[in-house]
């Protein structure tokens, strides 16, 4: 039999730890618990979790330091929990290496759905296939083209293509505004979020069935963008 999925829960609030542990164990996950950043790094090194649910507001060692410590040796999904709602905090967590960000108080159903999605992406591994296929268009990463099902090419400017390519290669994952700006425009950029709003609107007009209700190029307010392709 396959080993159960192992999730490390890192939080210093006993009631949250208890609720998470009960719900995760109820659906068959094995749960390890840590109540500080230092303990989290020790437990992760000893037990090698498949995913981490991490509170940012930890005693002594901040959650961002924990993310950085984990990312030094593992690529497992990290889902951040935090009462911090500010855009800077969310972007800092994503830039440090978190895969998702859930603000407290949170719905258990939403958190578990995000965890399942992150685990699916991790199991699938990095996108190796040269194409990302959706019902409305195909992104061909090898030829750098976007094609309609009937065979017509969607004409994208180099900048529009750059954004589509970065998001498609991180399919299903949040890409922070800063990360997207730096990858498309260069390392000297990071705060010109108005660029992203303008180009994302153009991309949606060209590729979304209903640009006012995006299906594929989804905005996560205050955090960044997510490309929902095959999921």
Tell me: the pLDDT tens digits for 139-149? 998 888 999 98
Domain match, 67 and 176 both: no
Give the DSSP H/E element, type plus range, for residue 148.
none
CA 120 to chain centre: 12
Q: Which DSSP string corresponds to 6-60?
A: EEEEE-S-HHHHHHHHHHHHHTT-EEEEESSHHHHHHHHHHH--SEEEEES--SS
The answer on 200 and 112 residing in a single domain is no
Q: Is the pTM value of this prediction over 0.85?
A: no
> What's 50's domain CATH number?
3.40.50.2300
- pLDDT tens column, 48-61: 999 999 999 898 88
Share of the chain above pLDDT 90, in %: 46
Determine the structural domain holding residue 148 and report its residue range.
Answer: 131-227
Phi, psi of 10 (to 5 degrees): -120, 110
Do 180 and 190 touch, CB atoms closer than 8 A? no
pLDDT tens digits, one per residue of 172-228: 889 999 888 888 887 777 788 888 888 899 999 999 999 999 999 999 888 899 999
* Residue keyed to tokens 């039999």: 1
Which of the pair, 31 or 160, is modelled with greater confidence?
31
Strand 217-220: give its sheet, edge to edge: 174-176, 224-227, 217-220
Q: Domain check: are 45 and 86 in the same one?
A: yes
The confidence score (pLDDT) of residue 96 equals: 81
The pLDDT value recorded for residue 14 is 94
């Amino acid at each position: 039999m396959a080993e159960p999925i192992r999730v490390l829960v890192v939080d210093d609030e006993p009631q949250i730890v208890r609720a998470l542990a009960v719900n995760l164990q109820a659906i068959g996950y094995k749960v390890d618990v840590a109540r500080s950043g230092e303990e989290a790094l020790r437990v992760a090194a000893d037990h090698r979790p498949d995913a981490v649910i991490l509170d940012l507001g930890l005693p002594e060692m901040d959650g961002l330091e924990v993310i950085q410590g984990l990312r030094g040796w593992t690529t497992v999904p990290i889902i951040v929990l935090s009462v911090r709602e500010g855009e800077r905090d969310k972007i800092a967590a994503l830039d440090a290496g978190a895969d998702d960000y859930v603000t407290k108080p949170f719905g258990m159903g939403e958190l578990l759905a995000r965890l399942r999605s992150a685990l699916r992406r991790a199991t699938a591994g990095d996108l190796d296939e040269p194409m990302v296929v959706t019902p409305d268009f195909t992104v061909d990463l090898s030829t750098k083209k976007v094609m309609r099902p009937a065979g017509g090419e969607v004409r994208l400017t180099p900048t529009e293509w750059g954004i589509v390519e970065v998001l498609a290669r991180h399919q299903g994952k949040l890409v922070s505004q800063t990360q997207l700006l730096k990858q498309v425009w260069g390392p000297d950029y990071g705060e010109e979020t108005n660029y992203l709003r303008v180009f994302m609107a153009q991309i949606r007009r060209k590729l979304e069935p209903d640009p006012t209700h995006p299906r594929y190029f989804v905005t996560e307010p205050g955090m960044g963008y997510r490309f929902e392709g095959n999921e």
